[in-house]
Amino acid sequence: MNFVGKSSWFMTASRRRRYLVGVSGGADSVALLHLLVDAGFSNLIVCHLNHGLRGRPAVEDAKFVKRLADGLGVKCEIGQADVKSLMAERSESVETAARFARHEFFANCATAFKCKRVVLAHHADDQAETVLWNLLRGSHGFKGMRELQTIITGSGVMLEMIRPFLGARRAELIGWLNQQGLRWREDASNALPIAVRNRLRNEALPMLSEISGRDAAFAFARGAMNARQQEELESWALEQAKVLDPQGRLHLPVLRTLPVALQRVALRDFLQTHGVISASQTLIERALDLLDVKNPAAVNLPGGGALRRQSARIFYQEPI
């Protein structure tokens, strides 16, 4: 279990603090729950959501998780969603609707148990899939999950997602479970019919490994780790750049002297400050156009606000 040593959260977090733990019943989350209990975490609440997508087997998953939690003396909350209806209502893919349902379930648990911290079992192989999928969908560079990540759910609840296993391989987790003689539900974690991700996991990454004779999942997961360090470099560079004027507006004569990649960082950061949390690439490129006086002097933002260029500054205009 040297994989938990790679997580500074796991090594240093208070054992008495309360944590919600997402447990599907699959190997990854079962290993997570056992390891937390073994490490002395004494105020855990197991949270399990039945997505309503898999009928009988999903009911068995929930029973398994309940028995597991009971056996470990850990509280357990079982939720029920109807992801199919959600997909129809929200015109979303199964992946997006299922994530929405999970976040709302965690939000309800967070409110009920007065605890916004959610520990999740995502590991390096999940990270590799995420990175590859984001890359194919057009992310600038590697974009993966973070060990600590604050999100705001659709219903406005803040959650702190904690992922201590991002440095661990799925095979390590399964090896540990086998060694300890522990059981899990084979299908529970792979169970959602998320075709693209399953195919990236089961076909694309193995093929890349086979062709190259290298561990493709490791390569992509490492890419995500390096990307995090790259972000620290970017934040540092942004601080050096001093792009804000005393009124907190972007100072164009300064901004124009910076490399374009740093201009993007500055614009993304500026938008974030003003509540535009995850600006798309397209939006950033349009914001970048503001630097050139030949282009229109305003860019509309999601949410109704705008970026405006005036007197050699870019400022944020509140929604009217």
193 binds a copy of itself, rule: CB under 8 A: no
Conformation bin of residue 73: beta by default, left when phi > 0, alpha when psi is -120 to 50 = left
Q: What one-letter code names the amino acid at 30?
A: V
Q: Which of 41, 1, 4 is nearest to 20 (CA)?
A: 41
Which of 22, 101, 87 has its CA nearest to residue 61? 22
Residue with Cβ nearer a copy of itself (138 or 319):
138
CA–CA dist 141, 5 (Å, integer): 27
Nearest to 259 by CA among 288, 227, 231: 288
Our finding on whether 112 is near a copy of itself (CB under 8 A) is no
196 binds a copy of itself (CB under 8 A): yes
Stretch that binds a copy of itself, among 42-50, 61-69, 104-112, 225-233 (CB under 8 A): 225-233
**Among 12, 246, 260, 294, which residue sits at the site for a copy of itself (rule: CB under 8 A)?**
260
Residue 81 binds a copy of itself, judged by CB under 8 A: no
Binder of a copy of itself out of 184, 220, 270, 316 (CB under 8 A): 220
Contacts of 23 (CB under 8 A, 6+ apart): 29, 30, 32, 33, 46, 47, 48, 65, 68, 69, 121
Which of the stretches 98-106, 108-116, 150-158, 235-243 binds a copy of itself when contact is defined by CB under 8 A? Answer: 235-243
Q: What is the CA radius of gyration of the chain?
A: 22
By beta-carbon proximity to a copy of itself, the closer residue of 1 and 237 is 237
Residue in 101, 221, 265, 287 binding a copy of itself, rule: CB under 8 A:
265
283 binds a copy of itself (CB under 8 A): no
Cα–Cα separations (whole angstroms), residue 6 to 26, 47, 166, 230? 22, 25, 9, 19
User: Is 207 near a copy of itself (CB under 8 A)?
Assistant: yes
Comparison of 106 and 220: residue with beta carbon closer to a copy of itself: 220
Does 276 bind a copy of itself (CB under 8 A)? Our answer is no
| Cα→Cα distances 149→43, 95, 119, 145, 164, Å | 21, 19, 11, 8, 12
Q: Among 15, 67, 90, 199, which residue sits at the site for a copy of itself (rule: CB under 8 A)?
A: 199
Interface with a copy of itself: number of residues (CB under 8 A) = 42
Q: Is 94 in the site for a copy of itself (CB under 8 A)?
A: no
236 binds a copy of itself (CB under 8 A): yes
DSSP of 273-299, one letter per residue?
A: HTT-TT--HHHHHHHHHTTSTTS-SEE
**Residue 238 or residue 307: which is nearer to a copy of itself going by CB?**
238
Rounded distance between C-alpha atoms, residue 89 and residue 16, angstroms:
41
| Residue 116 and residue 157 in contact, taking contact as beta carbons nearer than 8 Å | yes
C-alpha 137/C-alpha 68 separation (Å) is 38
Stretch that binds a copy of itself, among 49-57, 66-74, 131-139, 183-191 (CB under 8 A): 131-139
Complex with a copy of itself: residue 94 or 151, whichever CB lies closer: 94
Output 9 or 236, the one with its CB closest to a copy of itself.
236
Binding flag, residue 148, a copy of itself (CB under 8 A) = no
> What is the spatial distance between Cα 306 and Cα 10, in angstroms, rounded to a whole number?
42
Question: Which stretches of the chain bind a copy of itself, using CB under 8 A?
Answer: 132-133, 135-138, 140-142, 196, 199-200, 203-204, 207-208, 211-214, 216, 219-220, 222-223, 226-227, 229-230, 232-237, 240, 258-262, 265
